[in-house]
Amino acid sequence: MLSTMQDVPLTVTRILEHGALAHGTAQVVTWTGGGEPQRRSFHDVGLRATRLANALRDELGVEQGQTVGTLLWNNCEHLEAYLAVPSMGAVLHTLNLRMPTGQLTWIINHAADRVIVVNGSLLPLLAPLLPELGSVEHIVVTGPGDRSVLDGCRAGVHDYEELIEGRPERYPWPVTDERRAAALCYTSGTTGDPKGVAYSHRSIYLHSMQVNSAEAFGMSAKDTLLPVVPMFHANAWGTPHAAFMAGASMVMPDRFLQPAPLADMIEAARPTLAAAVPTIWQGLLTELNTTPRDVSSLTHVYIGGSACPPSLMKTFEERHGIRVVHAWGMTELSPLGSMAHPPAGLTAEEEWPYRVTQGRFPASVEYRLIAPDGAVVPPDGQAVGELEVRGPWIADAYYGGAAGEPMRPEDKFTQDGWLKTGDVGTISPDGYLTLTDRAKDVIKSGGEWISSVELENHLMGHPEVAEAAVVAVPDEKWDERPLATVVLKEGATVDYAGLREFLAQRIARWQLPERWALIPEVPKTSVGKFDKKVIRKRYADGELEVTTLD
């Protein structure tokens, strides 16, 4: 028997139309760094997105299926592109401005971007790349910046506001197949070329519904969201589409991502929810300690990208009343995979073992753990394996293989349709994920595994440690042993022996690092994660001053 339900496409167009109409009074506030921030209602954003679509089609010749690149900060113009480009049947390609220039050039050419919308402040980054960008025909510039750097480029140069001025406020939105690509995001390419993940209209719509569910962000029209996570990274964790769907107002930080302006905008714009990687919140906590602000509006902070030290979570809650919620995901998952909301009926103390996990999987994300021999590991909270997932907003392949075919490398996708995440951990019987490491970062010492993440979290729980990264280094006796690299806070007096003793109270003694090094900061990837390959290379090249304890 077939159902009697209507088969209506799930598209970004519907998010645009619904948000602009039903939640037209909600606000998008973009920080300007001085004076009054820019303010636009969802209704105005919808009209401007419609004008942008008309301009892209009529003036710049963008057709359905073609890609439009955005080299933009988190701001209202970026949101307008988020909505306009997919709705007109084209594909939004968010460009990671923190990628090495060689990789940035590569992904623009690989995606064949016809148009790039760019913030004026980022023109010095884009201009040197233009001679190598064969597909780019138009550059659309928004905001202040030195446009003379574009003199002589073969692409047409347009001002964003002038381009959309006077365009029609209606558009014949196409009836798009919900499985067509709506947005394209490339992984950061820590090994080899970046890999393109093409999100469908359907996956974005379903992911937005999940983000707005109570077991995720639980956003509604009563909320104001501060998305610090970049809109060029996994669609800012899917939060702009979800917020526009739910009617949650947004505070866009633009390029003002330093702790002081973030503290200022929280005090002034009064967001209730925020999302960013742990390093952002570590910096904000230090800023609030030295220069207090009123951040009482902020009730929940969502942290992902890398493991969050429990000490950071507890400090935010105890000092500022802000609940930090751990999340896990990756570009290939749109990116939401799990959220660490504890079960009901527990005391605050009983909740902590759940809150420090990566969280529980929602119904739409199937999961399994795989042992090195290929066997499925039971979800008993003890057995360790590599995590594999599948679901309606999870990639089945990468974009742009030979002859336009999708790419399914064996180290990322299984023959039966699961994504290999590269993360190692355990899963409890009630579906809570605890990651112990990346498969490539696990320290294999004497036939046993040591979790670098666990060591890092304990070290960053020391009151005099700002950051810590632990990597495996070769060892003649044990094959591998941990090297602890540490960033101390200003004025710290603790020595390596003291740090080792601090660890000894928390982990088995055989896991304690013998090798230690001080570093000025932990190197980061383009999306703010610890870049451990840089540390491993520095060690191999003899660049670190390593102290070995007996």
**Tens-digit pLDDT profile for residues 415-463:** 999 999 989 999 999 999 998 877 778 787 876 778 888 899 899 999 9
- Residue 383 in this model has a pLDDT that exceeds 80: yes
Active-site residues, by number, are 187, 332, 444, 449
Q: What is the CA radius of gyration of the chain?
A: 24
Strand 465-475 and strand 479-488: the pairing is antiparallel
Give strand pairing partners of 473: 481
Domains of the chain listed by start with CATH number: 8-196 (3.40.50.12780), 365-440 (2.30.38.10), 441-548 (3.30.300.30)
pLDDT-derived band at 34 (thresholds 50, 70, 90) equals confident
Give 276's pLDDT tier (boundaries 50, 70, 90).
Answer: very high
Higher pLDDT, 35 or 417: 417
Per-residue pLDDT at 366? 98
- Amino acid 438: pLDDT: 75
**DSSP state, 361?**
P
Q: Decide if pLDDT at 120 tops 70.
A: yes
**In the 8-state DSSP scheme, what is residue 150?**
G
Flag the least confident range among 59-73, 100-114, 211-225, 517-531: 517-531
Among 172-176, 192-196, 213-217, 523-527, which stretch is predicted with the lowest mean pLDDT? 523-527
- Which two tokens mark 424? 């190692």
Dist CA 298 CA 281 (whole Å): 13
Name residue 450's beta-bridge partners. 443
Band (189; pLDDT cuts 50, 70, 90): low
How far, in Å, CA of 38 to CA of 232, rounded? 21
Any bridge partners for residue 327, and if so which? 339
* Exposure string for 7-43, b = 16+ CB within 10 A, e = fewer: eeebbbbbbbbbbbeebeebbbbbbeeeeebbebbbe
Residues above pLDDT 70, as percent of the chain: 98
What pLDDT, on the 0 to 100 scale, is given for residue 447?
64
Interior/surface letters 107-126, b for 16+ CB within 10 angstroms, e for the rest: bbebbbbbbbbbbbbbbebb
Q: Tell me the C-alpha to C-alpha distance, in Å, between residue 420 and each of 112, 377, 437.
A: 28, 14, 14
With pLDDT > 90 as the criterion, what percentage of the chain qualifies? 83
- Helical H segments across 418-531, by residue range: 452-459, 496-504
Mean pLDDT, rounded, for 29-51: 96
428: closest CA among 324, 344, 506, 338?
Answer: 338
> What is the Cα–Cα distance from 142 to 325, expressed in whole angstroms?
34
Query: What type of residue sits at position 5?
Result: M
Q: What is the mean pLDDT of residues 127-142?
A: 97
Residue 115, pLDDT score: 98
Task: Tell the residue number behind the tokens 């039903």, with chain if given.
Answer: 22
E-assigned strand segments in 31-155: 38-41, 67-71, 91-94, 113-119, 138-142
Q: What is the pTM of this model?
A: 0.86
Residue 311 near residue 303 (C-beta atoms within 8 A): no
- What does DSSP assign to residue 223? -
The span from the CA of 440 to the CA of 426, in Å, is 16
